Amino acid sequence: MGWDAVVVGAGHNGLVAANLLTDAGWSVLVLEANASPGGATRTAELAAPGFRSELCSAFYPLTAASPTIAALDLGRYGLRWRHDHVPLVHVLPDGRTVTLSRDPAETAASVERYGAGDGERWLAEFAAWGRIKDALIGSLLSPFPPVRSGARLARRLGPAELLRFARFAVQSTRRYSRELFCGEGARLLITGNAMHADLTLDTSGSAIVGWLLSMLAQDVGYPVAEGGAQSITDALVRRLEQGGSEIRCGARVTAVEIRDGAAIGVRTADGEAHPATRAVLADVSAPALYRDLVGLPQLPARVASDLANFAWDDATVKVDWALSAPVPWTDPAVRRAGTVHLDLDLDGFGRFALDLASGRIPVRPFILAGQMTSADPSRSPAGTETLWAYTHVPRGLTWTPQRAAEVADRVQATIERHAPGFGSQVVGRAVSSPAGLQAENANLVDGAVGGGTAAPSQQLVFRPTPGLGRADTPIDRLYLASASAHPGGGVHGACGSNAARAALARNRTGTGPVYRAAVGAAGRAVWGRTPGTGPHGGGGR
């Protein structure tokens, strides 16, 4: 017996895809390598018993703004959001802070302290965001080309502003924030937010990512899931199982089975075959899918050679603490924040980027920290704190526990400088090296948080390799559903949703053959012929 679809990997993207296919009446089997579902959206007691830490993702502005997630109505399956904290405070090396509050007036007042007029300019940016946000989010999260939302965005902006918006979209945060703001406060908020992706001060494309996350923080906040990231996964799983589909954990997929250029199922490490009559959706990284599960000889030569140029995002060291009390920040403003950015100024961001690019572990790390209990009291006993943080390190280093601990010590010393006494409150600490993150989840190669760089050279039709900017692959009935696909990293579910929608379109009675022909022709034009598919590249297409 076969399933209509097999989904490889139960990260949130795989679970979103499986839910959408189940909603359409398909029978779906999800195969997950780990003992539990969720991938980078899980919670566990890492640092000490009773202290619930996020294994990876912790703050969810993209989830809150995602039309895909909203449509799943996860509240009905037990998910609750907590918003009652300040989204973000950035701490400068000299101890000054700048606050991004849900209250625009408070943010404006904070950035105004760094540059006269910046408060008004921040509010003007937020007003501009309000005019285009639906169309922009729709354009960014839908498959390429985003016909309807793209047209809506163009109409809202008009030709003159559209041109200027396109220029802004390829700017770096340094250029954009210098053109717009005169003080360091607003510039740091934008630059720090761009660093949630691997986009640094001078990288093209960092401005729009930093701006987008800043405006989301202003608009929907940086919410957390009550009880932890696990609650997002649990709600997705509950919804899926109530729909009649199935998840099997401890089932690592080792191959996608292909016949005549089309995916017909998968095989797991125990040798069992799992046939899929309509589609295989892969919530795994693009290199793992193409190299390990499909095999390069099954792919057009161009895809194999493009894959050699696939760029991962930065490596990551993550640190989790169990604390006997909230962090004793010198500046009380930091105590209200969910997310804390430490402790670089603009020059520091420049040096940090140079260190990463040069293969040096930064002496002054950029730290993204989360005060999880302050954001959600359920994370640890009353009066204590679960603290989450990560920083980036160069890719390609060899990681011993000692080396990872040295990075963690550097992070801890930085926090101590802004919160004297912090160290004495530590009752437990867990350090995850890049290798450790990868061992926990095969998609996090060297601890990459984004499934591949977010640089413009690997976005849209360049993601994961030059192609269609869609979930379709050169193999018929096989779809890439992970953060390696457009639109990339973050918990927004769009990669899973795009893959499910492509599979549904390919199999739709009536219009399915048209979709198949159009994607097949476009694929042959950009990739060349898929081996084993006959002179016209037909195969299953």
Ligand X SMILES: Cc1cc2nc3c(=O)[nH]c(=O)nc-3n(C[C@H](O)[C@H](O)[C@H](O)COP(=O)(O)OP(=O)(O)OC[C@H]3O[C@@H](n4cnc5c(N)ncnc54)[C@H](O)[C@@H]3O)c2cc1C
Q: Interacting stretch for ligand X, rule CB under 6 A, among 12-20, 198-206, 304-312, 406-414?
A: 12-20
Q: Give the residue with the Cβ less far from ligand X, 294 or 519.
A: 294
Report if residue 153 touches ligand X, rule: CB under 6 A: no
Q: Contacting ligand X (CB under 6 A), which of 3, 14, 191, 201?
A: 14
- In the numeric block, which tokens belong to residue 5? 């679809």
Which of 3, 5, 7, 9 binds ligand X (CB under 6 A)? It is 9
* Count of Cβ atoms closer than 10 Å to residue 67 Cβ: 16
How does 429-455 read in b/e, with b if 16+ C-beta sit within 10 Å?
Answer: bbbbbbbbbbebbbbbbbbbbbbbbbb
Distance (Å, rounded) from C-alpha 359 to C-alpha 354? Answer: 9
User: How many C-beta atoms lie closer than 10 Å to residue 95's C-beta?
Assistant: 13
Q: CA 490, 494, 497, 499 torsion: positive or negative?
A: negative
Residues forming beta bridges with residue 476, ordered by sequence position: 262
Burial level of 92, CB count in 10 A (0-12/13-18/19+)?
buried
Residue closer to ligand X (CB basis): 320 or 385: 320
Identify which range of 65-73, 126-134, 437-445, 506-514 contacts ligand X by CB under 6 A.
437-445
Spatial neighbors of 408 by CB under 8 A, at least 6 apart, are: 317, 319, 429, 431
355 contacts: CB under 8 Å, gap ≥ 6: 361, 362, 363, 394
Nearer Cβ to ligand X (108/208) = 208
Residue closer to ligand X (CB basis): 9 or 539? 9
Q: Residue 283 Cβ, how far from ligand X at the closest point, in Å?
A: 5
Q: Which is nearer to ligand X, 354 or 442 (CB)?
A: 442
Per-residue contact string for residues 236-275; x = within reach of ligand X by CB under 6 A: ----------------xx----------------------
For the chain, the straight-line distance linking the first and the last C-alpha, in angstroms and rounded, comes to: 23
472 binds ligand X (CB under 6 A): no
Quickly count helices (H) and strands (E) in the chain. Answer: 18, 18
State the minimum distance, in angstroms, from the CB of residue 297 to ligand X.
19
Q: Does 444 bind ligand X (CB under 6 A)?
A: yes
Q: What is the residue whose two structure tokens read 């354009």?
A: 139
Which residues 306-335 are close enough to bind ligand X by CB under 6 A? 316, 318
Q: Which is nearest to 496 in space by CA: 75, 25, 4, 30? A: 30
Phi, psi angle pair for 297, to nearest 5°: -60, -20
59 binds ligand X (CB under 6 A): yes
User: Would you say 276 and 2 are in contact if contact means Cβ atoms under 8 Å apart?
Assistant: yes
The interface region with ligand X, picked from 71-79, 405-413, 423-431, 440-448 by CB under 6 A, is 440-448
* Closest C-alpha among 114, 194, 205, 174 to residue 368: 194
Q: Binding ligand X by CB under 6 A: which of 56, 100, 263, 367?
A: 56
Amino acid at position 196, single letter? H
Q: Compute how many residues bind ligand X; rule: CB under 6 A.
A: 40
CB of 32 to ligand X, least distance (A): 5
* Closest residue to ligand X, based on beta-carbon distance: 11
User: Which CB atom, from 98 or from 286, has the smaller least distance to ligand X?
Assistant: 286
For residues 171 to 210, the per-residue mask of contacts with ligand X, x marking binding by CB under 6 A and - elsewhere, is ----------------------------------------
Signed CA dihedral, 315, 288, 3, 277: sign only: positive
By the criterion CB under 6 A, which residues form the site for ligand X?
8-14, 31-34, 39-41, 56-60, 62, 252-253, 283-284, 316, 318, 390, 441-444, 449-451, 482-483, 489-491, 495
